[in-house]
Structure 1
Amino acid sequence: MGTQPSIVERAEQPFVGVRSRITLTSFGLLADRLPEVLGWVGERGIAPVDGPFFRYEVIGAGGLADGELQVVAGFPVSERVRTVSGEGDLFGGVLPAGRYATVAHVGHPDGLLQVSASLLKWAHAKGLEWDMSHSDSGEVWGCRLESYKTDPRVEPDLNKWETELAFRLRQ
């Protein structure tokens, strides 16, 4: 179940994350690194300002279901974080400001493929253009986010989780 899509203006958002090339079947390998990211920011006295997110940077030729994906798993933080080489593959970055098409989903994360497809269809019907280009490796997105609003330590039932999809529109 989800809400109706809407268009929102978002400010830039600093984050700390880790990047990986995965497929949907190996997605858990990246998701399992979120506690490491959370520990890293906690050791530095930095508190996340929201729940974790996945930023889909590249969606390979097979699409979300079958393609190779380049994804960042991270946490939004209150200020820009400098990361030092030699500290592993965690890094600080900024999610870009801009206009985003968003939709909320309450339910199991398995339903997000359908919610994503519905959001893409909704935007197409409205004549909206994504901040996305095509390359040899697939679709390269300016910012395509899947943000988790439910803390699994508080609500372990995946069917009650709230997730927000936010895809940046061409400026």
Structure 2
Amino acid sequence: MPTITEYPDRPYLGIKREITMTTFGLVGDRIGEMIGWLAQRGVPLVGAPFFRYEIIDMPHDRLLVQAGIPVASPVEPEGDYFADVLPAGRYATVLHHGHPDRLMSVTTDLLRWAADQGLKWDMTEESDGEHWGARTEHYQTDPREHPDMADWDTELQFRLA
């Protein structure tokens, strides 16, 4: 069952790519590398890695997506890494236990729930797709400890307007 949660600003180290549904690895495969980069610099992680969807254009199978690693305070990025902040605010959240390939139906349910509640998203419709302020999937499970994706926990956090 979805809930509404208030979050403060949350800094992170990220990487961004324009991808399709079949090229998610261009972003996702960089998470381990970013965690290693932070560990080499003694920067502790303060939450689960996540994907942040900036632009979603499903009719054209085009997504602008970030992979992010939460940190306690901003870090000085290098190369194609950047520092950013998930903005403070109210988020509709839901926890999914199971394979990530089921997240589309979980997302559909969350969007429907919010519409039924009369909630509005931090999102604008533009000619190139939906522009989201903060629409994220936080991967709570360490795949080294639980390689079976059916055992993973993922929390969706979508910022409300």
The aligned runs of 1:1-171 (5 Å cut-off) are 4-62=1-59, 67-83=61-77, 87-170=78-161
**Distance in 2, Cα, partners of 1:155 & 1:139:** 33
- 5+ residue gaps, structure 1, are none
Q: CA RMSD in A?
A: 1.0
TM-score (norm 1): 0.91
Shift of 1:49: 1.0
Task: Work out whether residues 81 and 93 of structure 1, in 8 Å CA contact, stay in contact via their aligned partners in 2.
Answer: no
Residues 107-130 of structure 1: per-residue CA shift (max 9 Å, x gap): 000000000000000000111000
Task: Work out whether residues 61 and 137 of structure 1, in 8 Å CA contact, stay in contact via their aligned partners in 2.
Answer: no
- Equivalent AA in structure 1 for residue 128 of structure 2: S
Task: List 4+ stretches of structure 1 deviating above 6 A.
Answer: none
Residues 43-97 of structure 1: per-residue CA shift (max 9 Å, x gap): 22101112210000100152xxx620000001101111122xxx31101111000
TM-score (norm 2): 0.96
User: What percentage of residue pairs aligned between the two structures are identical?
Assistant: 52
- 5+ residue gaps, structure 2, are none
